[in-house]
Each structure stands twice: as C-alpha cells, then as structure tokens.
Structure 1
Amino acid sequence: MPADRKPFRVLFVCMGNICRSPAAEIVFRKQVDEEGLTDAIHIDSAGTIGYHAGKGPDPRMADTLRRRGYEITGRSRQVTSEDLRDFDLVLAADEDNLKDLRRLDRAGTYRGKIRLLVEYCVEKEASHVPDPYYGGQRGFEEVADLVEDACQGLLDSIKRQIG
C-alpha cells in the first residue's frame, strides 16, 4: 500500500458485540491477513448497546469459530457517532442494528456507508444475520456460515475499490 494512502476502515455492528459482529471481525481479519492486506484494511466491531462492554466474544461463538480455525480476539464496545465518521463502511447484522445506526446518524451524513452485512453474501441468501444468543449450536453455525460468505464478498469488493 502506498505510504500516502490510509487503510480502508470497516466496522461490523450487532446489538451486544459478543456474537455476530465479533464473529465478522474475526473472520474478516483472517481473510484479510491471508490476502496480505493487513496494512490496507483496518477492522473493528461494536455493539449498539454497551451492556457487554469490555467482555470477549460469547463462549459459544468463540468455540464455533475456534473449531473452524480462527483465533479468538477482541473486546466488546459500544458504537459511537465518531465511528460513523471514522469508518469507510459500517455493516449492521440486522435491520434493528441498521435502524439504530441510522438514528445515531441524525443528520443522515453517513447514510451511504451504513449497510447490512448480508448485502455482501455471494453463496447464501439471507435478509440478515440472525442473533444466535438465545438459540442452540445450530444458530452459531448459521452465523459463522453467513459471516464467512459475506466477509469473502466484502473482501472481494474492497479489493476492487483499493486496487
């Protein structure tokens, strides 16, 4: 990456930042690293609520990802209006998260960069990434499947943008 180019910044957002958005951050980070783009793409995640601030990913989500070969990292934090300004793309897990992000963007200044993560799915069709928190293991596997697909589509899209 040229020294004068800033990294492309991606923020993944769900409600609590312990299941879906950290899963996307972890999966996308590995995909980016494997492409040798670590310096070109900055990745983070946050939640629309701060209830779990400072906590790591949900143990069930972490176990699901670990079994798929991912290194588990990160701590929960709440999304801020500064995040909307600072990130190039803010990707919500579902429509409720999208609405919360749009409310945070009162003036609509950043509307064009706030999108649903599933818009980047290539193989799978889904309207949102479902919250697995109150379900069983199948829900965590479904989240991992959707996130892996969407993150690959996202990476392909960003690679086209940054050249």
Structure 2
Amino acid sequence: MTATDQDAGFTAFVQAHTGSLHHTAYLLTGNRQAADDLLQDALLKTWLAWRKIDQRAAWAYTRKVMVNLTTDRWRRRRYEAITIDIDDRRRDPGGEAGFEGVEDRAFIVRQLAGLTPHERAMVVLRYYADLSEADVAEQLGVSVGTVKSTCSRALARLRSRGGAAPATRSLS
C-alpha cells in the first residue's frame, strides 16, 4: 500500500466517521472544546498507527484511543471541575440513532457530567456505543464484573436525581 493510498484511506475514514466520533467525544467530556481537542488527539494517534491497524476496525481503535486519553486526563486532573455547554445543540447526523425518543440532549449531557469520568466512560460505551459488557471491559482494561457494578451504580445515581428516571429506566 502506497503512502497515497494510506492518505486516501485515512481521509475517507475521517470523512465517514467524524460526526459519530465527535459525538462520542462530547459525551465523554461534556464540553464542546474539550471534545474537539480529544477528537483531534485521537485522530492524530490513529493516523500515526494507520499502517498497523486494521482499517475495518479503525472506528473502534479511535474510540478506544479517545477513552484512554479521557482516562489519562481525569487521572491527571482528578479534582478539576467539569464544565458543560448547555446550549451546545449542534445536530450530529451520525448520533441521531443513539438518542431516539430523548428530546432534550442537553439534559443527558448534564446528567452524564454528574458522573465520575470512569463511570461516564462506561455508560457511554455500554449504552451509547451499544457495546457488550465484555467489549466495554476489554476497551477499558477492567473485568466484566467491574463494568456491571459500575454501570449499575452510575444508573442508580442518575435515577436518584430528580427527573432522570424516565430517561434511564430503559437502560437497565
């Protein structure tokens, strides 16, 4: 494969998946600017590894890079407050299917921002990205039991907040 073929393949990947990857980054960070930064860092790492990865799994690879970068950031800045853009309602055509029936996306983002970064990553991967518990465990390098218990606790926290019950009832 020539360098031109690699460039074309990566460009096609970015054009096809930027919307859904950006939406995942936004859910992981809760902030539009942080999501932009996270996606750019993840795409850079994906580009650097482009020759080594299976292009059919590039979306999953990039998503895993985003989760790892998010985890690295919250480990470094464990006590930093998370800010969210309540008025960020830019439509993402790739993310429409993940929120069918939920009218207020800002509500979901506010609820996710109340979780710890680790809980948020698990809930986003499990319920937004629709990964199995085993896949989430593999992506995050934890056991399946940890995924189950963390998701259960996170959903219980979401339900305990006023108005969150209708939005999370269908998740368990």
Tell me the TM-score normalized by structure 2.
Answer: 0.28
Q: Which has the larger radius of gyration?
A: 2
Tell me the TM-score normalized by structure 1.
Answer: 0.29
- Structure number with the bigger relative contact order (C-alpha 8 A, sep ≥ 6) is 1
If each structure's strand is expressed as a fraction of its own residues, which one has the higher value? 1
